[in-house]
């Protein structure tokens, strides 16, 4: 369907018809002609100079560097890795042994060359994932997308023959969820035809599909509601604990999960709707997003509780708190090994690691070494079926990543050390706290040299309980810090840095608190003498792109430049576009007058005006982004142009929600953003 001005319009309370709906036609000729014209203007203005080309080349060196850490995932006896470089821009899926991985130049066994596949089949394939069949890991369900979209094609792959299985499990392009039950059976949720998808575009039904039978004959095992976000089904093949589960997500933060018995009956796991569960062997873990009172005891939001799964399903409620938050700490994540549970905690946004072990006297805890003083540590893989091995990635803003391997109770071994891509001499990292409008202390990190008279870039996200923790970026170092720039990350409400209450504080009608927090950090930077409004830029992507749009329209006096990447900007229609309906629990329902009453007060598309002076702004998006519709950025730029403003705009034709499909595109996209910021704010 072609959407064009005058042919289709939307009306919202206190608004006029939207003249730019035709730009929501993602691949329509008229819309793409507009995109190409804007791209040409931006490329001509920002990419002609020597600095841009040098930055692009330096960023590509980082992305293609042979001495990057090839992060592995253990599957049985092998370590698997997906790798992209100059010789393999689309990438190769490969594996090696631990003994080989320890060497300086491991001998990798290439299983699938995506570049060769794309050339052979004449498709723009981008790697997504591979789900392998336990315990032998001989078969894999490989997911490939066209151009980097969320929607994927699924094809069964035989690791032994390095070939796709003839007449194997194959699914056409869709936002599919698929997983193994056994070698001849899978659970699948996909586009089965009319009525099989939710309003968010994800699977509404889950089916059990047997090898050699048509997909249309797959057995229905679970069905959700049209307004749900999605449904799911999965099989736990842990020996001695084989179980099947199904469930639905009524919204982004709530779920209903059921044990599916051998007879097909569904038994609800009776935890709060907004809690999440983790089932490992005999254990059930429950992570709370809100307070939960059980047998007279109230467990605080953000707590992690443990109980035996079978006892709980039989009605027992003997819950042991394994983690309880306080005003400074939150649980960032957990990972099981065969016999232990590793907790990753944040204390004022700094990582702390603990290991918990169950014994005759209950749960015992001990610190786990490896967390840096100012930085982050993340468990990237464990082998819960077979061992107590764990892989730990450690980095900081000025500390290149180190990949550590340990076994609980043993020593840590350095497997790989990433190179330093920029000179950090004289640079420091400091944490400060700004005071928001309601008195809340908001932490932020500053990466700077002794002279902060150069430009400052402030980054933020503030949504979906996502935490921004310190991490090394060679691209940031080369593209920004080496030009005398100061880099700042704001840990505003809406994120998860202080657990679910930090997130809930900026949910729905309270969303402006996140924007007030970010503005407070901007003001605090000026008050400390770190920067000035004219030399302060800000950047955000996705939900952070909405943050950037609000900063542009509500706080234009605080910034000298704004970068809004793959953004949501039209809050009257976001729920009608692609996956937008799945996010209504975060922002609200524009069709509900009560929700629209507050959404319209900060929706950037509805709050940009002629006659107002805005800082230079750069909108960046992707045609192939099938998560956040490119129409948001297109329409915002078009409206600003109509009003007499001069926004910069660039839309990559490929790339999905990440806005780039390969390293060359990633380098270009990052370099053009840095060039915009440096040319607008000036170098040191």
Sequence-ordered alpha helix ranges (H) in 327-453? none
Distance CA 27, CA 624 (A): 9
E strand spans, 84-204? 92-96, 109-113, 125-132, 139-146, 152-158, 163-164, 170-174, 177-182, 185-189
For residue 460, which phi and psi values (nearest 5 degrees)?
Answer: -155, 165
Q: Quote the tokens at residue 32.
A: 């793409």
* Four-point Cα dihedral 267, 269, 273, 276, nearest 10: -140
Q: What's the rounded Cα separation, in Å, for the pair 55 and 51?
A: 6
283-290 contacts, C-beta under 8 A, 24 or more apart? 283/307, 283/308, 283/309, 283/358, 284/308, 284/309, 284/312, 285/322, 285/334, 285/341, 286/319, 287/331, 288/500, 289/253, 289/500, 289/504, 290/500
CA distances from 480 to 146, 181, 483 (A): 32, 48, 5
- Tokens representing residue 352 in the block: 């702390």
The torsion region of residue 162 among left (phi > 0), alpha (psi -120 to 50) and beta comes to: left
Q: Determine how β-strand 486-490 pairs with β-strand 266-268.
A: unpaired
Q: How many CA atoms lie within 13 A of 473 on its CB side?
A: 16
Start-end of H helices in 480-630: 500-504, 512-527, 543-554, 584-587, 593-602
- Angstrom distance (rounded) from CA 531 to CA 248: 48
The H helix count followed by the E strand count for the chain is 13, 39
Q: Distance (Å, rounded) from C-alpha 520 to C-alpha 502?
A: 16
Residues marked as catalytic = 542, 657
557 bridge partner residues: none
Q: Are 539 and 565 in contact (CB under 8 A)?
A: yes
Residues, the chain, total? 684
- Asked if 234 and 245 touch (Cβ cutoff 8 Å), the reply is yes
């Amino acid at each position: 369907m072609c959407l064009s001005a005058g042919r289709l319009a939307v009306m919202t309370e206190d608004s006029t018809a939207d003249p730019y709906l035709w730009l929501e036609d993602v691949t329509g000729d008229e819309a793409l002609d507009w995109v190409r014209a804007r791209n040409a203007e931006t490329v001509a203005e920002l990419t002609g100079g020597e600095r841009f080309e040098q930055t692009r080349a330096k960023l590509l060196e980082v992305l293609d560097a042979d001495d990057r850490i090839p992060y592995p995932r253990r599957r049985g006896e092998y370590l698997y890795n997906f790798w992209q470089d100059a010789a393999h821009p689309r990438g190769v899926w490969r594996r090696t042994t631990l003994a080989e991985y320890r060497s300086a130049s491991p001998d990798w066994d290439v299983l699938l060359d995506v570049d060769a596949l794309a050339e052979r089949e004449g498709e723009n394939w981008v790697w997504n994932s591979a789900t392998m069949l336990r315990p032998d890991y001989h078969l894999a369900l490989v997911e490939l997308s066209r151009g980097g979209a969320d929607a994927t094609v699924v094809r069964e792959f035989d690791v032994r023959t390095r070939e796709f299985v003839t007449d194997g499990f194959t699914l056409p392009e869709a936002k599919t969820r698929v997983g193994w039950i056994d070698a001849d059976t899978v659970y699948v949720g996909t586009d089965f035809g009319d009525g099989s998808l939710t309003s968010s575009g994800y699977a509404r039904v889950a089916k059990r599909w047997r090898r050699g039978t048509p997909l249309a004959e797959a057995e229905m095992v679970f069905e959700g509601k049209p307004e749900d976000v999605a449904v799911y089904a999965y099989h736990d093949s842990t020996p001695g604990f084989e179980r099947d589960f199904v469930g639905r997500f009524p919204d982004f933060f709530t779920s209903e999960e059921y044990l599916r018995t051998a007879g097909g009956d569904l038994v609800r796991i009776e935890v709060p709707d907004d809690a999440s569960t983790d089932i490992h062997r005999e254990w059930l873990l429950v992570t709370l997003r809100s307070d939960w009172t059980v047998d007279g005891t109230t467990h605080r939001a953000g707590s992690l509780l443990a109980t035996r799964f079978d006892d709980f399903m039989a009605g027992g409620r003997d819950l042991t708190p394994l983690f309880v938050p306080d005003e400074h700490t939150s649980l960032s994540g957990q990972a099981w090994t065969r016999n232990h549970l590793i907790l990753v905690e944040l204390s004022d946004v700094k990582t702390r690691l603990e290991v918990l072990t169950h014994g005759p006297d209950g749960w015992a805890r001990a610190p786990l070494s490896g967390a840096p003083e100012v930085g982050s540590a993340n468990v990237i893989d464990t082998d819960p079926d077979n061992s107590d091995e764990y892989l730990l990635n450690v980095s900081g803003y000025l500390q290149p990543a180190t990949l550590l391997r340990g076994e609980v109770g043993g020593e840590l071994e350095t497997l790989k050390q990433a190179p330093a891509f920029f000179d950090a001499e004289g640079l420091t990292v400091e944490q400060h706290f700004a005071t928001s409008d309601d008195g809340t202390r908001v932490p932020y990190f500053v990466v700077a040299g002794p002279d902060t008279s150069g430009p400052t870039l402030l980054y933020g996200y503030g949504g979906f309980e996502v935490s921004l923790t310190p991490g090394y970026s060679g691209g940031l170092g080369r593209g920004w810090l080496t030009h005398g720039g100061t880099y700042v990350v704001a840990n505003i409400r809406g994120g998860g840095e202080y657990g679910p209450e930090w997130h809930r504080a900026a949910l729905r009608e309270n969303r402006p608190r996140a924007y007030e927090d970010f503005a407070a950090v901007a003001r605090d930077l000026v008050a400390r003498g770190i920067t000035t409004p004219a030399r302060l830029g800000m950047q955000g992507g996705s939900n952070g792109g909405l943050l950037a749009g609000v900063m542009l329209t509500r706080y234009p006096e605080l910034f000298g430049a704004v970068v809004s990447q793959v953004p949501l900007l039209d809050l009257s229609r976001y729920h009608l576009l692609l996956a937008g309906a799945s996010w209504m629990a975060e922002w609200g329902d524009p069709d509900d007058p009560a929700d629209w009453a507050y959404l319209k007060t900060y929706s950037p598309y509805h709050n940009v005006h002629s006659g107002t002076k805005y800082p230079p702004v750069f909108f960046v998006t992707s045609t192939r982004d099938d998560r956040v519709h490119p129409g948001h950025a297109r329409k915002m730029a078009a409206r600003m142009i109509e009003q007499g403003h001069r926004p910069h705009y660039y839309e990559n034709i490929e790339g999905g929600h990440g806005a780039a499909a390969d390293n060359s595109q990633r380098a270009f996209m990052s370099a053009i953003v840095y060039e915009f910021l440096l040319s607008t704010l000036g170098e040191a």
